[in-house]
Amino acid sequence: MITKSKVGRYDFVAEPFHTDFTGRLSLGVLGNHMLNSAGFHSSERGFGISFLQANNYTWVLSRFALELNEMPADGEAFCIETWVENAYRLFTDRNFAVLSQDGQRALGYARSVWAMIDLRTRKPVDLLGVNNGNIVDYAAPEKSCPIEKPGRIKVVATEPARTIETFYSDVDINGHVNSMKYIEHIMDLFSKDFLSAKRIARFEIAYVAESYWGDHLSFFCDELPDDEYAVEIRKHVSPENPVGEVVCRSKLIFCNK
């Protein structure tokens, strides 16, 4: 019996210290609120932290794509709706809507793809085999998410635009660089002049491998036509190993404000 709504809705306020120099919520913070909403929603349905810890499992974010008409402004109340679109053996699609406080106006939508990993074997768990496969009972494929799915991202640059070292504040409880920290570092590639004139219309990221405290991350960046950028983050890039190892790939499409 399903007693919980298939769609969770969670309230947020754009806090003063979470807004950027333009007075809008920063992308990494919005992403963090979405991850928290996903966490609340899945916990309420028996796929949260206590289920995961009891089984030594963890959710792993594989892909994330977001389209925005407008970023919440400093002090603005808004809500995030989230729901499972589909669940398969190895992946589940979870969607998001960012709405005005009254739920009437869509600020944006997002799609994400998740796997569940067994921490002992690092192998994916069969999602249809846990909790009697009831994840599919929570799916709401009929609810509309009017943005394209995450696509393939290709980067051809051979010289990094920047290389950074990772520290304490980059890593999460698992010791991995926090998935939203990559987004902060990617946004940090853009200049003040550029970000004064443009805003994010679509942002996409595909997580390929984990990185850790002390890893050097190199950012390879293609500037494409129409304010589009493709970024590949690689670790362990050195003169002896100029290719390194891909950590994640991201695509950003900007538009005029």
Candidate residues 214, 224, 238, 245; the one interacting with a second copy per rule CB under 8 A: 214
Tell me: does residue 240 bind a second copy (CB under 8 A). Answer: no
**Nearer Cβ to a second copy (185/251):** 185
Residue (52 or 65) nearer to a second copy, CB: 52
Could you say whether residue 19 binds a second copy (CB under 8 A)?
yes
Among 8, 12, 30, 35, binds a second copy (CB under 8 A): 35
Which of residues 26 and 95 has its CB atom nearest to a second copy in the complex?
A: 26
**Contact (CB, 8 A) for 213 and 175:** yes
As a whole number of angstroms, the distance between CA 188 and CA 180 comes to 13
Q: Extract the tokens encoding 245.
A: 């190892």
Contacts with 28 (C-beta within 8 Å, 6 or more apart), sequence order: 180, 181, 183, 184, 187
Q: How far apart are CA 66 and CA 252, in angstroms?
A: 10
Give Cβ neighbours of residue 72 (< 8 Å, ≥ 6 apart). 12, 14, 24, 25, 30, 78, 98, 107
Task: Give the shortest CB-74-to-a second copy separation in angstroms.
Answer: 6
Which residues, listed in sequence order, are joined to residue 113 by a DSSP beta bridge?
63, 93
Cβ-proximal residues to 196 (8 Å cutoff; 6+ apart), any chain: 22
Q: Which of residues 52-81 bind a second copy (CB under 8 A)?
A: 74-75
Q: Which is nearer to a second copy, 21 or 122 (CB)?
A: 21
Residue 110 engages a second copy in binding (rule: CB under 8 A)? no
Considering the complex, state which of residue 147 and residue 248 has its C-beta at the smaller distance from a second copy: 248
Which residues have CB under 8 Å from 1's CB, separation 6+?
Answer: none
For position 97 contacting a second copy by CB under 8 A, the verdict is: no
Closer by beta carbon to a second copy, 175 or else 239: 175
- Please give the residue ranges that form the binding site for a second copy (CB under 8 A): 15-17, 19-23, 26, 28, 32, 35-36, 39, 49, 74-75, 167-169, 171-175, 178, 180, 184-185, 187-188, 190, 192, 195, 213-214
